[in-house]
Amino acid sequence: MAESGGEMETLQSRLVLFLGILAGVAGVVLVRKFCGGGVCRSNARLDGKTVVITGANTGIGKETARDIAKRGARVILACRDLTKAEAAAAEIRHDTGNGNVLIEKLDLASLKSVREFALKVNAKESRLDILINNAGIMSCPQWKTEDDFEMQFGTNHLGHFLLTNLLLDKLKKSAPSRVVNVSSNAHQQGTINFEDISLEKTYSPWSAYGRSKLANILFTRELDRKLKGTGVTAYSLHPGVISTELSRHMDAAFGLGFTLFRPVLWVSLLLFGKKVQQGAQTTIHCAVSEGLEEFSGQYFSDCAPKEPTMEAQNDDSARRLWELSEEMVGLK
């Protein structure tokens, strides 16, 4: 009788454990579904259109390129690492059946490379319908670009600023066309000190990243103002919190502290982060969805307009940043 009671307790314990595990799994599934964010509902085809996507060999850039290729567009993957770019292009061609997926060399940390890339696109392509400025670097040590700019500001903002300006004539001739700038909610931690634009006095990897993402939004606002009436529209966006290669420099930037924290970050991303395909949805929405003209210049999150910080809505800062950027990249 005692043995029977013991067996019953064991069965009950196992049942409780099983139900606990089941509830935990269900909880994770529900949390992930809740955190998945908005989905691009547009079925728009892009046959005959040409799309340039920077940093399209990995992460949300590659997923964006895959979706755009499925829609029939001619897709140019603009990447620093051509080996990885070709592997990504081959995968996308295979998955989508679209053989019109090309690669071109582009290093946004080099103004020379940006100019060479733009020269090729302007010479070889008859049109450019969508430019997606997706590539970026996050929270790296205090590195410099080839042109001696702070790395994150130089890559995430100045490189894309120059690229967009050099391709504007092609975009205007192909209108209606779009420019999509991938920013981040990290802009909330950013501020632009025009007196210390290179962050020589104070440097924080995370603050520098936030500053570059704030610059993306301000650039989009001023670009929209300058493009009124041309048929070219511009959008900035937060893709969501995603585990991608973007965080690869954080160990070097933050040292042992971040290395020890990484497992916690991994679990948090597993529970609350978006999958890469989910993270690409807002970029895709801004690139292809119909009826977005009235929202040109705005900031999007989860496939809907969202109000950024007050600093990100400062038109005086947007104009000042544009003028300073022109000088820094040699357009003025």
**299 has catalytic annotation:** no
Phi-psi region of 261 (alpha: psi -120 to 50; beta: other; left: phi over 0): alpha
Rounded-to-integer distance, Cα 57 and Cα 150, Å: 24
Rounded-to-integer distance, Cα 240 and Cα 222, Å: 24
Tokens standing for 198? 């290179």
Are the beta carbons of 318 and 214 closer than 8 angstroms? no
Number of other CB atoms surrounding residue 55 within 10 Å: 29
Q: How far is CA 307 from the centre of its chain?
A: 18
The Cβ-side half-sphere exposure at 196, using a 13 Å CA radius, reads 9
Which residues are within 8 A (CB) of 305 and not within 5 positions of it... i.e. 6 or more apart? 295, 298, 299
- Farthest CA pair distance, the chain: 92
By three-state DSSP, how is residue 319 classified?
Answer: helix
Listing from the earlier edge strand, what are the strands of the sheet with 130-133? Answer: 101-105, 74-79, 50-54, 130-133, 177-182, 232-238, 299-301, 304-305
Catalytic pick among 203, 209, 235, 299: 209
> Could you tell me where the DSSP H helices lie in the chain?
2-34, 59-70, 82-96, 111-124, 151-152, 160-173, 205-226, 250-254, 256-272, 276-279, 281-288, 315-329
DSSP H or E run through 74? strand 74-79
Q: Which residues are catalytic?
A: 209
